[in-house]
Structure 1
Amino acid sequence: MLRLHLRRGSSNSMYLVALGSLVVVVILGVLLMNGGKKRTGKRRTMSNTTQSATASSDSVELFMYCAAGMRYPMEEIVKRYEEEYGVVVQLLYGGSNTLLSQLEVSKTGDLYLAGDSSYTQKAQEKGLAHERLVLAKMKPVIAVQQDNPKNIQGIDDLLREDVKVAAGDPDAAAVGKKTRKLLTASGQWETLNERVTDNGVFKLTVNEVANDVKLGSVDAGIIWDSTVAQYDELIAIETPELNKGLATIEIAVLESSQQPTDALHFARYVAASDRGSKIFSEMGFEAMDGDKWEDAPEITFFSGSINRRALDPIIKAFELREGVTVLTRYDGCGMLTASMRAMRKDQSSGFPDAYMACDVYYLDTVRDWFQDDVNISEAEIVLVAKKGNPKNIRGVDDLLREDVRLVLGHPEQCTIGVLTTQLLKEAGIYDELTETKDIPMKQSSAMLIPDVITEAADVTVAYITDTHGEAEKLEVIHVDSASAKAVQPYSIARSSEFKHLTGRLYDHIAASRNIFEAAGFTWRLDQPAGSE
């Protein structure tokens, strides 16, 4: 483990961080070359990953940059993970910002665990990190020895002449950065900074601050409450100024990883409620409610048929990267929601972990079972005739003509049926149309276009996205109405045991604007979403 120490003040911190970054490149090179020598172990196999084609019975080695304050829980988690899966995880400890600088220089490694989400967010913005998984929360406190000999009760006591203070270096450690931000807001940072520089010490990691307090080298230090819980010799003193500084611990999969599926497997293990999260909680952290642990989980995804053309490639890529299975059911949303109601009534299995409806209408009917939704896209509703438009259909009024044969979606089985009914009622022709014509009804939008192509019908009302696969055989007639559109929302089931995994599926969908637009959808994600 690389350790860089600052004796007094912080004037040399950037120089040492830069020097440490150069040193760590050499260290990483050695570690990663050694990692190429695979160690025998209980390697899991995942037939749906690209790695399965070349995997041997040997184990994987992962390399992770780990914030020093998470050393104790991570050592235990890594130990258990290696025992369970035979995968070796090498850990490099340091301050969160120091590690970020190092991985930016080296551009190697698999994972990055930071003491605050601001660092993983920055890593993502720099193109260094991909997925980010939330692990736990913590806040800064004043740490003193058990008997509190200097009777320190708050920040003002740290400014006393007789009190020697250790703090995290704001340019290296997450706790230092958080301390500077909070005490700048309270107007106390400038004075504390001077006191620490003149008569205290800035440290590169939170553990070094805690050790100084433990050994009596200083009278007090500002560290995380979770760090205090790991030292029997210390007690925590909460203050109003520091209580506002809740930090979120995250683990990120790095873009530099050559084995992202294995890295994600470990990250899921660390975040799982009955694996890593449990250990974080036992060691004094405010652990987040993670997914339950499964080696190769399966999630169930219900989606309206309209979304299939866009979702299929996204789901396949997601399965490959995550090493999971997505059991996707495409159907008319009326059929899907009817199945949901039956499952709830019978308390049977199979209820979806996530649902992407053809339109918000069919999410509203089951909204109580789902979390807040996000509008992903919209699809135009159009009239569709055979190429050349032999019946010269120009608008919805032409649907009343005796020589025009219709096929429509069933309003009780699919969204296009509901929206067609609304559209025709708005046009004032619905009652006359249904009274004068015997109209075949289909349970899904995907079943409408084939009837037009085979000349079983002259025209239908469909989503423009359904015409893309057979565009050379069809004529699209646009409808001049604000109601001629469907909006596709995505939502996660309240009952899902894999909310974070389905959240990452959403992230993949949200990053796939080009796929949706190529399938004929209009992108909506940057517009206000629906809510409960």
Structure 2
Amino acid sequence: MKGKGMERTHAFTSKGAKLVIALGVVASLGFLGACAPQAKPAEPAKAPHATEQTKPASEQHLMVYCGAGMKKAMEQVKTGFEAKNPGAKLDITYAGSGKLLAQLQSTHKGDLFIVGAKPDYENAKKEGLVQDNIPVANHTPAIVVKKGNPKHISSLKDLEKPDVKLVLADAASASIGRTANMIFEKNGINAKKNIKATVGTVTEIVTAVQSSNADAGICTKDSVSEAQDVEAITIPNDQNINQIITASITTFTKNQDLSNKFVAYLKSAEGKKAYSDHGFLPVDK
């Protein structure tokens, strides 16, 4: 009997010990859990730092097609217009007027068309690509020669001399190329044999003479006014064919209101000054 009682007591003690140990483990885990650092709630997303570049919600772009010969003036216009119209951005493509017209014809995209001669505008108008135009400035043709005029060129007739290397703009690419051809025809000038190169813009004509790849070319007075190592020979008014820079809004503009503001800026005193600062004469002179 005594042996059986001891067996029961031993079994109870063994089970009790296990229970005590189990409760101790649970208590320990609970204590450790209580002591563990609590997770912090998620912090709200921070607003962009003041120095981060973010696109203004009101930013509006105008796509401008502009003759290459007026790039310096147009860059000044761009700076002034954007300063007066916060959020406005001008995206400008510079090229010869023929190439600009071709882009309008093929893409039907863009907001403004600014070219160096009215016939280019009239061609775009006939095709329904642009609205009415405003005159911007004179783009008067002249003869460009090397500084000091080493070939002693003083008139259109001198361009026929056999030792004169001539550069002209391509008539299909730039208004000054077509105008030069008309000036030659008007005055009976036959200088075809002296043409050594045709280029795409009035700027390239000046560069060719600067680099002595040509002795002379037909460009515009304004393109020579700020150029180094060249000078302009004036073509008399009765022999010349003047060009007028025109600006017009396209018929497919996506921002008529901002385009109207840009045209108004061109007509303002500040807009006109941007052109006169770079040798362009105003249209009222």
TM-score (normalizing by structure 2): 0.76
- 2:76 aligns with 76
Q: Which residue in the other structure is 1:228 paired with?
A: 224
Q: Is 2:164–2:194's contact at 8 Å kept on the other side of the alignment?
A: no
Query: What residue number does 1:486 align with?
Result: none
Counterpart of 2:85 in structure 1 is: 85
Q: Does 1:195 align with 2:194?
A: yes
**1:147 Cα deviation after fit:** 1.0
State the partner residue of 2:33: none
Counterpart residue number, 1:269:
265
Q: Structure 2 CA distance, aligned partners of 1:97 and 1:251?
A: 15
Corresponding residue of 1:140: 141
Q: Contact 1:173 / 1:205 at 8 angstroms: preserved in 2?
A: yes
Aligned-residue offset at 1:288: 3.3
Q: How far did residue 241 of structure 1 move? A: 7.5
SS at match of 1:184: helix
- Aligned 1:440-479 pairs, distance under 5 A: none
* Alpha carbons 2:167, 2:214 under 8 Å: kept: yes
Partner of 2:65: 65
Equivalent position of 1:280 in the other structure: 275
CA distance change for structure 1 residues 288 and 184 in 2, over 3 Å: closer, same or farther? closer
Q: Is 1:257–2:253 an aligned residue pair? A: yes
Alpha carbons of 1:216 and 1:224: their partners in 2 closer, same or farther (altered >3 Å)? Answer: same
The alignment partner of 2:253 has SS state of: coil
Aligned to 2:208: 212
Q: Which amino acid aligns with 1:177?
A: R
After TM superposition, give the deviation of residue 230 of structure 1 in Å.
2.4
Partners of 1:121 and 1:250 lie apart in 2 by: 10
Distance 1:242-1:161 versus aligned 2 partners, 3 A rule: farther
**Partner letter of residue 227 of structure 2?**
Y
The code of the aligned residue for 1:252 comes to: S
Residue 195 (structure 1) shift: 2.1
**1:179·1:242 contact (CA, 8 Å) conserved in 2?**
no
Structure 1 residues 39, 88: CA separation in 2 closer, same or farther (over 3 Å shift)?
farther
Q: CA deviation at 1:183?
A: 1.1
Letter in 1 for 2:68: A
Contact 1:186 1:241 in 2 (8 A): no
SS in 2 for 1:252: strand
> Is the 1:139–1:242 Cα contact (8 Å) retained in structure 2?
no
2:220 counterpart letter in structure 1: W
Q: Percent identity?
A: 27
Q: Secondary structure at the match of 2:180?
A: helix
Q: Residues 1-400 of structure 1: matches in 2 within 5 Å?
A: 39-40=55-56, 57-86=57-86, 87-188=88-189, 191-196=190-195, 200-240=196-236, 243-272=239-268, 274-288=269-283
Q: 2:238 & 2:127 partners in 1: Cα distance?
A: 29
Q: Residues 117 and 139 of structure 2 are in contact (CA less than 8 Å); yes or no, is this contact kept in structure 1?
A: no
The 1-side partners of 2:147 and 2:193 are apart by: 26
Q: Which moved more, 1:259-268 or 1:153-162?
A: 153-162
1:169, 1:238 → 2: CA distance? 21
CA deviation profile, 1:52-71 (whole Å, cap 9, x unmatched) = xxxxx412101111101111
- Distance, in Å, in 1 between the alignment partners of 2:233 and 2:210 is 15
Gaps of 5+ in 1: 1-37, 41-56, 290-532
Displacement over 4 Å in runs of 4+: none
SS state at 1:287 partner: coil
Cα separation, partners in 2 of 1:58 and 1:251, compared to 1, 3 Å: same
Q: Provide structure 2 residue ranges, at least 5 long, that are not aligned to the other structure.
A: 1-53
The aligned residue for residue 331 of structure 1 is: none
Q: Distance in 1 between matches of 2:167 and 2:237?
A: 17
Shift of 1:90: 0.9
* 8 A Cα contact 2:205 2:219, kept in partner: yes
Aligned residue type for 1:148: N
Whole-angstrom distance in 1 between the partners of 2:103 and 2:193: 28
Contact map agreement 1:39 1:60 (CA 8 A) in 2: no
1:216, distance to aligned residue in structure 2 (A): 1.7
Q: Which has the higher contact order (CA 8 A, sep 6+)?
A: 2
